[in-house]
Structure 1
């Protein structure tokens, strides 16, 4: 997401407590017919599954969930003995006759399922057209929801072929993984669309869509690429279709393997729990991640759509053609697709310089989550279906991709891509585990990738490398486990990572140095006083320097000795180390103050992110202290903001747009008088009908600003924009801004909308919550809302799906005080946390980190602000 005679490529011992189906039979082919019925939100199904019988047996067990089976036969003989195990989501069919090893068996089933509104399995998505609510039927099978659509061997290693037929009203479009074989009338109003049989594939990649859809097409690639949407929006798919054609051509060349299917469809879905899903040949997307008006979009959305499309297309090879053996190898899918999307984006759009952004984006997401005690290894054991959704997180995606980036640097990009290509060719149509990739990379590079990478994938966390200066040009570097809470226990600090030190000096970069012991001594090759560990920030670790070295590195940044990646990484390291207590927050503040002349938007993004993290930790401290941080922010950005302004033109480069929007938003949030006045004036013109008054690049900041300072009239105006938008981007910007109001009564109104699914779709519930989490009143309101509405939240977002954990994190992680943490622990101490326990534990870790930071350094920060002339006594 945003995820031959096929057997696992090498033997793998399945843990005895892993919940998997029996191996007495193996599915080889599904012939499936489904008919969605929108009047009662059900679907009728028939399927015949062909099995190879592996051992003498008299039963077949399948996964199933919320499906009613009406009829079953094995090899034409009726089955009367059918038993269900609801806890394990299974059904077992007892055969009247014994099935002999080496034979084949046909299981026929007739059933009915629910066309649910949970965005899982075979489900319904709603939208409004001409004032009427309309529906389409679509699928989301990953990770374990194919069983909601039809009884199946719902495990990634149980690859089979699928022949799919859909029955629907004649005017509706029917889509599936493959191209259409034939269409037949079954009545005056109904048709049956039969699709060609798929290659071998896993159940989680099966997909079908039925609805009123239109498309745009790009024929510049070898196979047709179509983007489908509900009528009136299809033209907004042109950009994605163009990106798709370029990307498929690029991947074919890099992997040296043709795209394996006869077509590639991409579909915009109005209700979608993730960003996108890589179903083989029929990729589904949240509308905002596929459809854009390039003339009226902002630079962030354009970049996001580009990367999401590239991510899902990378999956067509890595994940679909070659698939992990089980879900503990999820990172193989998601980490690689994430890395490959950045790689493709850099190759096709070099002017975007996306690898610079990578350091402040994917790498920091990975390091942030993995600094929590409640993180997990990249390769994480999972046993039950309800555990799997919890690992679709920044470890599988961002740490996984950061590890691959580190490997590509170590091996060299050419050897890395060649090793990946060999891996795909060797295992195509089959299943693999992580070591299979390492072995292919080892064969190409001649390096022991297996030994090195096993340490990184099978252990939780990462190190902080502490640097001591011994004099005479010698450095002592020592690695220890890093935790955001700063309270590492001896038993948590036993793993020694192979750390690529990548020493940068005035002589260049030495990539040969590896710290694979607790500590070692290295010698600088020059007599001058410049060095930096982790050149260009390829390594997955933090670097802690002595106080005076931070100051020297700050000057080196000003003097042009550090790359964008270096500067970004230094700010990120300083911020993280300050929050955990490894260094004083003064070192962070001195560093960012010395870089107020910075001109790169990525470095600015990291600077402002780290100040925002400090503000979040001090949110419940004094108003004076928070005003001082606003004054600091304004002082840092004022010269650059004055130089570039916030007017946009067609001549602005990608970097110009990024920097202008970033500084404008920061200035607005810090009460810059001219910026706030501009925002209010532009908004007034906008609601009066001048849609050009608000540039898309700063629309979110303008909406947030007028909400933060606004009244009930402003609320009504933003709510009207949300309910009658001109674009999906405008709609979501308005929705997010609703959480920014500071008036408690208005926030009560916003909280009251969160569970009204006719107003806010469940997929979007987190968006206004994100706005609320940015300020003290909002954080408190979120918690009150969770307490009062927990049962309704739990029902709307059941723990088997991924969104409940996200809602728990957003509703609790804004706290910064011990008594607040205790309240969270006491509330959930009486709840069944199965399915979201990891998210809850991570949130408690985040709160603990902020408690430590604010209690340890709030006085130090206040003193520094005062000494540096930032007014902490009065409102700005």
Structure 2
């Protein structure tokens, strides 16, 4: 699954450069169920725990977990499913109760592994129109004493009169209705307007725990089975699912002719990968034939047929699929790959096997209005989801505690797949900025968490969904990249291939991968010189949170490692069996020669790390290791002097590393802040993207801390001074910004829409804002809509920003999927930050109810709204907010709240200690620089 939010790196860079140069600032729905009757049976209207069709209730709201296995969130291991027959009919018109509904018939077949009288399967928000039936292998109904629904754990429980026998097969047959809500979860409804007509879609988002909202199922990743899917729909709609349709039948429903689309039986797969889409979409691509698989891009008819927005994704899908077949040494296991752009979607994309679903911004691309950053987004997300077709779908984690392995791996190889599609971009290097440094900001907190945890620590849907965070995606990608680097790509790929072959259509735990990689190491003739087995090395990175700062004293050769914490005064309460010591693969450059060293202890003396007077040492070449590097003062001075004398002698990635490490070490009080600022002095003569992006990201923290103080004026002047030569360079290179640069990482793109829109709104009033709002409303290109919506938050009028905040929770004005990012955009505006904070506090219960369970970006809302918090009063308000909302809770944002409190405390300390020095440094830098 791709991340649910995105800001173009190129757009962000230009936006920051543009604005700093000008010394200015850029700024569960409460669901009610009703029934559309399919027959005359009474409906089940569940309370805490209820029974169907008059059978007496077995429990109440006072039940305790000890009363039975139905009060545990994990399924018992007594039953194992092997097949489902699922037949669904979505009705995309309002029923008599003014609701959209779907009708379903499902039968799940399973084997009894342990004798039991209980059949427990997942079911959530389904209304059963007949009493669920337990059947034997011949289809004969078996006696059931009662049938319960347990709301807390989302179970359907059948109590068999006679125990089920070990080794025998059984099934549960159900008929049910569900609401086709717009909550972006399970089987849900999406809408769009085309040619003045509102059109509706029935689509799915089953991950992580919402297949149970579409049909009763054993909704855990290890419970793999095959599926026969049948969708009944109006004749002017098209139905898609994981497999190709095998036949279409005309059937009569309520005296009207509907189409019954029957799909081929799926391969063995997890419930969270089941998908179906019913729409009036068009497609571009080729159907399957005897020599090739079908690859098609689906979307709104106008976008696909008239504007050709699916062409780019289509052009890169086949080469990426071909590349991954070679990379994994495994043929793509399905006969087709459909990719669908949805107007409403909670995540960035979802890797449903054979039917990948996307936000429109992550799949559709219009070269007339979309930026190169939009194009990069499409390439990397498509590669990410295609990577999952093997790693995650073919071989699946046993339980969600190892979710990082799925998402971290895909987040790493998405760069390899995108590089195959766009080899001129040099995109593989960007993982350092996009993932390594991004996640280090989170992993440097005591409120971080290890990549993996014990299975029993992850149970509830909220606990599962909290794991879809930067640690799982970006730290996972970072450590897998490090692993591939020290093993070599050849050995890594060989071990990966045997891992996939051994566990295809099955489930694993993360250590299974280590076993296969170790076998590849043992079988290679290469001299890898690993200090310990792969499992021992990697467990230090997987089982404990955080990462080390490695300090090298080049005068003595002494090298040490220590757990790096943003707030050096904080106390780590999470114990570690490794005592926060890592087995660190170190690469270094000395006298233009490269070397490697394994640091296995907290302290060591390495003669090779000693240097002479005229030398400098650089460690962690190309930032392949997941750690920061500190040096003695002498070596820091030499590195900075080298940057100013001839920066090209230091690799581009390491120029970014020197800046990013220095600023973060300064925030943690490992080096002084003056040292960090000194690393930016040379930038006026560096035209490369990565060092500038590292500097801008680091200085963005200064902007957040000081854009309301006297520091901001001198800071803006200094940045204008540094940026001017870069501006002139790209002005000349692009013919006064009329020629598009070929490289992805050339900074300035001729499409300056984001900057123009934001500047116009910021310097305009109500009329300008209303004009852009109308343009936003009428836009049918998602990437363009995103630019306009973000620019609406650039206003300097508080009442206008408040109006936009109110709009964010009105789904008739702003799509539910965009609510959080709209609030975040307002909070990024220095004028809107306090407004956003007040809004979030006042509306928190509503925000949790409407967005907490349906929007993957929800967990980020407290991070963004508190970015500028740096005073004792800010901290007091934040802690009061935590206290006031303990009852309603924080859902998947709970960990984000703890991180916000920790960061606020660190910000207070840092500002108090550094404000005066920073002010004086910028004043002196303006005077002293002659460029």
TM-score, structure 2 normalization: 0.85
State whether residues 265 and 282 of structure 1, in contact with CA within 8 Å, keep that contact through their aligned partners in structure 2.
yes
Say whether 1:199 aligns with 2:267. Answer: yes
Decide whether the 8 Å contact of 1:63 with 1:147 is kept in 2: yes
Partner of 2:799: 745
Residue of structure 1 equivalent to 2:699: 611
Question: Displacement, 1:52?
Answer: 0.7
Larger displacement relative to structure 2 (124-133 or 161-170): 124-133
> Structure 1 residue 867 and structure 2 residue 924: aligned?
yes
| CA deviation string 1:500-532 (max 9, x = no partner) | 221211242112x11111111112376441111
Residue 395 of structure 2: aligned partner: 322
- Residue 163 of structure 1 and its aligned partner are, at CA, apart by 0.4
Q: What is the aligned counterpart of 1:134 among 199, 212, 222?
A: 199
CA shift, 1:19, in A, is 2.5
Other-structure match for 1:103: 168
Paired position in structure 2 for 1:223: 293
Residue 287 of structure 1: CA displacement?
0.5
| 1:297 and 2:390 matched | no
5 Å matches for 1:491-506?
Answer: 494-506=579-591
Aligned partner (choices 408, 411, 430) of residue 484 of structure 2: 408
Instruction: Give the Cα separation in 1 of the matches to 2:311 and 2:349.
Output: 17
Deviation at 1:599, TM superposition (A): 1.3
Which residue number corresponds to residue 668 of structure 2?
580
Give the one of 472, 478, 483 matched to 2:565.
483
CA drift of 1:311 comes to: 0.4
- 1:104-150 Cα distance to aligned partner (Å, 9 max, x none): 10211111111121100000011112223221000001110111111
CA contact (8 A) 2:70 2:120 kept: no
Give the aligned partner of residue 30 of structure 1.
Answer: 84
How far apart are residue 797 of structure 1 and its match?
A: 1.4
CA offsets per residue over residues 187-235 of structure 1, 9 Å max, x none?
A: 2420111101001000000000111111000479820101111211123
Q: In structure 2, do the counterparts of structure 1 residues 16 and 477 end up closer, same or farther at CA, with 3 Å as the change threshold?
A: farther
* Paired position in structure 1 for 2:120: 61
In 2, are the aligned partners of 1:721 and 1:730 still within 8 Å (CA)? no
Distance 1:18 1:540, change over 3 A: farther
2:331 corresponds in structure 1 to 258
Cα drift, residue 569 of structure 1: 1.1
Alignment counterpart, residue 73 of structure 1, candidates 119, 129, 133: 133
Q: Is the 8 A contact 2:479 2:626 kept in 1?
A: yes
Find 1:653's aligned residue among 742, 746, 755: 742
Of 132, 135, 143, which aligns to 2:208? Answer: 143
- Look up the SS of the partner of 1:268 in the other structure: strand
Give the counterpart of 2:405 among 327, 332, 336: 332
**8 Å CA contact retained: 1:228, 1:265:** yes
- The correspondence of residues 834-853 of structure 1 with structure 2, limited to 5 A, is 834-853=891-910
1:520 maps to which residue?
604
Q: Quick one: higher RCO (CA 8 Å, sep 6+), 1 or 2?
A: 2
The worse-fitting range, judged by mean Cα deviation, of 223-232 and 785-794 is 785-794
Instruction: State the shift of 1:601 in Å.
Output: 1.2
- How far off is 1:633 after superposition? 1.1
Cα displacement string for residues 37-58 of structure 1 (whole angstroms, at most 9, x for unaligned residues): 1223111110111111112222
Tell me the CA shift for residue 870 of structure 1: 6.2
The whole-number CA distance in structure 2 between the counterparts of 1:650 and 1:107 is: 64
Of 813, 832, 835, which aligns to 1:759? 813
Which of 872, 884, 887 lines up with 1:818 in the alignment?
872
1:464 equivalenced with 2:558 (yes/no): no
Using the TM superposition, give the Cα deviation of residue 281 of structure 1 relative to its aligned residue in structure 2, in angstroms.
Answer: 0.2
2:655 equivalent in structure 1: 567
Q: Is the 8 A contact 1:415 1:444 kept in 2?
A: yes
CA distance in 2, matches of 1:776, 1:293: 32
1:789 partnered with 2:843: yes
- CA–CA separation in structure 2 for the residues paired with 1:442 and 1:556: 41
- The secondary structure found in structure 2 opposite 1:599 is coil
Among 399, 412, 433, the residue aligned to 2:509: 433
Distance 1:747 1:700 in 2: 18
User: What 5-or-longer segments of structure 2 have no aligned partner?
Assistant: 4-68, 94-98, 523-529
**Aligned pair in 2 of structure 1 residues 171, 637: CA closer, same or farther (>3 Å)?**
same
- Name the SS for the 1:198 alignment partner: coil
Q: Is 707-716 or 322-331 further displaced after alignment?
A: 707-716
Describe the shift of the 1:800–1:739 C-alpha distance in structure 2 as closer, same or farther (beyond 3 A): closer
Aligned counterpart, 1:592: 680
- Equivalent residue in structure 1 for 2:181, among 116, 119, 136: 116
Describe the shift of the 1:557–1:418 C-alpha distance in structure 2 as closer, same or farther (beyond 3 A).
Answer: farther
Which residue of structure 2 aligns with residue 49 of structure 1? 108
Q: Which residue of 1 aligns with 2:725?
A: 639
Match of 2:756 among 698, 702, 707: 702
Show the counterpart of 2:159. Answer: 94
Counterpart Cα distance in 1 of 2:908 and 2:792: 28
User: What is the CA distance between 1:764 and its match in structure 2?
Assistant: 0.6
1:855 aligns with 2:925: no
Q: 1:585, CA displacement in angstroms?
A: 1.4
Matched, 1:210 2:286: no
- State the SS of the aligned residue for 2:695: helix
The answer to whether the Cα contact below 8 Å between 1:551 and 1:591 also exists between their aligned partners in 2 is no
Deviation, structure 1 residue 452: 0.6
SS at match of 1:171: coil
Matches within 5 A, 1:618-637: 618-620=706-708, 622=709, 624-637=710-723
- Any gaps of 5 or more consecutive residues in structure 1? 4-14, 662-694, 872-876
Query: Aligned partners of 2:631 and 2:761: how far apart in 1?
Result: 42
Residues 497/488 of structure 1: CA separation in 2 closer, same or farther (3 Å cut): farther
The answer to whether the 8 A contact 1:46-1:108 is kept is yes
Contact persistence 2:369–2:784 (CA under 8 A): no
**Alignment RMSD:** 2.1
1:260-299 alignment to 2 at 5 Å? 260-299=333-372
Output the CA distance in 1 between the equivalents of 2:848 and 2:477.
32
- Equivalent residue, structure 1, for 2:61: none
